[in-house]
Amino acid sequence: MPVFTFPVGRLLVTPTIMELFAYEKIVDLLIRYGSRDWGDLCDEEKSLNDQAIENGNRILARYQIDDEKIYIITESDRSCTTVLMSYEY
């Protein structure tokens, strides 16, 4: 399982993600996320994520895989982190 550089709480993956992507691809995304690779966000949004780790705000990353956009979101209370499709957001 990926090692995170910040608290992520319980990991949740939507059924759609589980259906569309192999386990290894999901783990790869979580590794990127856990190492603070925020994916396809603009520089300002990436900076806000870095600040959120310190000040306790929500963290959000977006990744493009093939024609699909995938979000990973850690809640501000760090109770859970969810992997979901953009249209499930």
Amino acid symbol at 25: K
Q: For residue range 77-87, what is the model confidence (pLDDT) as tens digits?
A: 999 999 999 99
Domain-embedded: residue 4: no
59 has which bridge partners?
A: 74
What residue has token string 């190492």? 35
Is a pLDDT exceeding 90 seen at residue 2?
A: no
Q: How many domains does the chain have?
A: 1
SS3 state of residue 4:
coil
Coil, strand, or helix at residue 38?
A: coil
pLDDT in tens, 21-80: 999 999 999 999 999 999 999 999 999 999 999 999 999 999 999 899 999 999 999 999
Structural domain contains residue 53: yes
Q: Residue 88: CB partners within 8 Å, gap ≥ 6?
A: 14, 16
Residue 44 is part of which domain span?
A: 10-88
